[in-house]
Amino acid sequence: MKALAVALLILMPLHLVEALECGDAQTQAEMNACAYADYRQAESTLSASYSAVLKHTSDVAQRQLLETAQQRWREYQEADCQFQSYAGRGGSLYAMSYTDCLAGASRQRTVALDAMQNCPEGGVNCTFSAD
């Protein structure tokens, strides 16, 4: 389902997405393109945060736990966004609604991963100690 929604959004040429002023989006296609651009940005930021945490997680067992957690979080993100956007399936707003959900979830996960990197000294819930 995620692949279908993203594929529909990709149909708009990338150069049009980048040139579009999202505050002025008028058509559903333009709004979908803006939602997709927002999702791409949220995913880029999430990827950087995840990579930073992974880089600082040196214990092999803990690293595997992080990788498993991220994989399961992705599964949750997919299922939750399918649920949240279900009412719009088949409609013109579905792709935008689904992609907005994915972007929002990605931003929330980024906050959680960033918090792992900013633990107070001696914090028992810290995943690793800062360099």
CA–CA separation, 39 vs 98, rounded Å?
A: 10
Q: Which fold has domain 2-116?
A: Substrate Binding Domain Of Dnak; Chain:A; Domain 2 (1.20.1270)
Domains of the chain by residue range:
2-116
For 39-89, write each residue's pLDDT tens digit: 999 999 999 999 999 998 888 998 999 999 999 999 999 999 999 999 999
pTM, rounded to two decimals = 0.78
- pLDDT at position 10 over 50: no
Q: At what angle do helices 60-84 and 28-55 cross, to 10 degrees?
A: 160
For 18-29, write each residue's pLDDT tens digit: 556 787 878 888
For 94-131, write each residue's pLDDT tens digit: 999 999 999 999 999 999 999 988 776 656 666 655 44
Q: What is the pLDDT of residue 84?
A: 96
Q: At what angle do helices 94-117 and 60-84 cross, to 10 degrees?
A: 150
Q: What is the pLDDT of residue 48?
A: 97
Q: What is the pLDDT of residue 3?
A: 56
The tokens describing 48, both together, are 């950087």
